[in-house]
Amino acid sequence: MKSFANFFSGRGPRHRGHGFTDTHHSYRRKKLNLVPDMYKTDHSKNQNIERLKEHPGTCVCNNKDLEYIRDTYNIVPHKDSEQKLGKTGITISYNPKNNTFILKK
């Protein structure tokens, strides 16, 4: 057993272990309050449309999506024609097999 005077001398520097936000090798944030506002999702926008803006694909519309499209883009979806959502490059069309509207980019 080391004496009290020499107890901390041979240990080397003290580092914070895993679980802290700035020491992990991939720098993943573990607490949401530490994430900057620019990386947080904006819940006032429709997440399906925002996802399609960045990653092309298809998505089935639900009632909330259709309501958001009517209010934001001033578009009333029709079953007989495809319509574009502004300058986003996303089109909304009707799928008669599923009886639903589909967003495509």
Q: pLDDT higher for 15 or 59?
A: 59
- At residue 34, φ and ψ (nearest 5 deg) are -95, -5
pLDDT single digits (tens) 21-58? 555 555 555 565 666 777 777 788 888 998 999 999 99
Residue 23: closest CA among 11, 14, 15: 15
- Give the three-class secondary structure for 1: coil
Domain ranges of the chain: 42-104
pTM: 0.61
